[in-house]
Amino acid sequence: MQKTSRQSFADTICNPRTRKIKATFFKQMNSLLDWDSIDEIIKTHYHKGKSATGKPSYSGLLLFKACLLGT
């Protein structure tokens, strides 16, 4: 019977190779995209507000970057 070793979530986060790939991804995105023009477009459609408890909301650009990272 053959055992397959699976990495846990913590193993994936702590893996230096994975961290290097993420750092490379962010560098590539910063060099390829003009974030200021994207931020201006986002600001025309997304207006920051406050939650019921008064906590500040996230910026539209940060949410857009999170969506890019998710894909």
SS3 of 16-43: the string is: HHHHHHHHHHHHHHHHHCCHHHHHHHHH
| Domain assignment of residue 1, yes or no | no
Site of tokens 């790939």 = 21
Full domain range(s) for residue 51: 9-70
CB of 61 within 8 A of CB of 38? yes
Model's pTM, two decimal places? Answer: 0.56
- Does 14 reside within a domain? yes
Q: What digits encode the pLDDT tens for the residues 10-67?
A: 766 666 555 566 677 778 888 888 999 999 999 999 887 776 777 778 889 999 988 8
**Is 21 among the domain residues?**
yes
Number of folded domains that form the chain: 1
Q: Determine, yes or no, domain membership for 29.
A: yes
d(Cα 32, Cα 7) in Å, to the nearest integer? 32
Q: Which amino acid is at 14?
A: C
Is residue 3 domain-resident? no
Residues for the chain: how many in total? 71
Dump pLDDT digits (tens) for 34-43: 999 999 999 9
Task: Say if 2 falls within a structural domain.
Answer: no
In a domain, residue 57? The reply is yes
